Amino acid sequence: MIEVIDLCKSFGNLQVLNNITETIHEGEKVVVIGPSGSGKSTFLRCLNCMEDPTSGSIIFEGEDLADMKVDINKHRQNIGMVFQQFNLFNNKTVLENITLAPVHLKKMTPEEAKEKGMELLRRVGLEDKADVYPSTLSGGQKQRAAIVRALAMNPKVILFDEPTSALDPEMVGEVLDVMKQLAAEGMTMVVVTHEMGFAREVADRILFMDGGQIAEQGTPEEVFGNPQHPRTKEFLSKVL
């Protein structure tokens, strides 16, 4: 689904991603873990070119997204993204947040988008919040609404960057539940998270990042049960 080839990313002199080659398969749930500053967010953000790769390729639907000539906006319509800080549009109601892009990008008529938006909101238990502004929502509600906003575009894959890190502990569960439901429905997902329980339960594959590289990867059983790399062992001993 997404093929990453020799991906490098530097900010000025700081090399953050160091020659990463990796493939995300259709329907796969990939969880990215690793210490702070190891490049997890940068890796994720390169997948939809929110950060432009310094070199290398991101092949998605037969095109190289790293190529500046590619219509990135078209491809981003198929790659959902969910942020740590939710980033709901403050000047739009919850439902408007969801319908804005599909309608503006002519993926749906306003009526279709509304219907679809309401249906998705019902699924995450937010149908009564359709007409309020995001600032009245709790963190957990905001994140569920943000997931719905991404889903409304019918993306082929969704990228999550620490979707529960900004939440009060009692709200983490409600967001993870929505993500588990998505996973069960077969959505392709790439998730950066510190929620090791979620990783263990949902991931098909864990990528452990360290120093801008994927230091180790495998099934949750392999990575959590029998880590090979000393850095993985060290990291896991701290977080588990």
Partner 1 sequence: MDFAGKFKVFWELFIERGGWERVLKVGLVNTLLIAVLGLLIGIVLGTLIAAVKVMPKYKLLPRILDKICTVYVGFFRGTPLVVQLLITYYVLWPLMGVTITSLNTSIIVFGLNSAAYVSEIMRGGLLSVDGGQMEAGRALGLSYGTTMLKIVIPQAIKNILPTLGNEFIALIKDTSVVSFIAAIDLTKTFTEIGNVRYEYFMPYLAMAVFYIILVFLISCGVKAMERSLRKSDRSH
Give 119-150 as a DSSP string: HHHHHTT-GGGTTS-GGGS-HHHHHHHHHHHH
* Total number of residues shown for the chain: 240
* Residue 142 vs 205, nearer CB to partner 1: 142
Site map (CB under 6 A) of ligand ATP, residues 19-58, x = contact: ---------------x-xxxxxxx----------------
Give dist(CA 167, CA 174) in Å, integer: 10
> Under DSSP, is residue 179 helix (H, G, I), strand (E, B) or coil?
helix
Q: Which structure tokens are listed for 125?
A: 């238990």
Q: How far is the CB of 16 from ligand ATP (least distance, A)?
A: 4
153 lies in the binding site for partner 1 (CB under 8 A):
yes
> Under DSSP, is residue 119 helix (H, G, I), strand (E, B) or coil?
helix
Taking every pair of Cα atoms in the chain, the longest distance, rounded to a whole number of angstroms, is 55
Rule CB under 5 A: choose which of 20, 29, 39, 41 binds Mg ion: 41
Stretch that binds partner 1, among 2-10, 56-64, 85-93, 179-187 (CB under 8 A): 85-93
Total binding residues for ligand ATP by CB under 6 A? 11
* Residue 1 vs 50, nearer CB to partner 1: 50
Residue 224, binding choice from Mg ion, ligand ATP, partner 1, none, Cβ under 5 to 8 Å by partner class: none
Rule CB under 8 A: choose which of 21, 67, 74, 234 binds partner 1: 74
* CA distances (Å), origin 99, targets 111, 140, 151, 206: 9, 20, 11, 33
Q: Which structure tokens are listed for 147?
A: 């997931």
Candidates 94, 3, 1; CA nearest to 46 is: 3
Site map (CB under 5 A) of Mg ion, residues 206-235, x = contact: ------------------------------
Give dist(CA 213, CA 2) in Å, integer: 17
- Name the residues that contact partner 1, by CB under 8 A: 48, 50, 73-77, 79-81, 83, 85-92, 100-101, 104-105, 132-136, 146, 149-150, 153
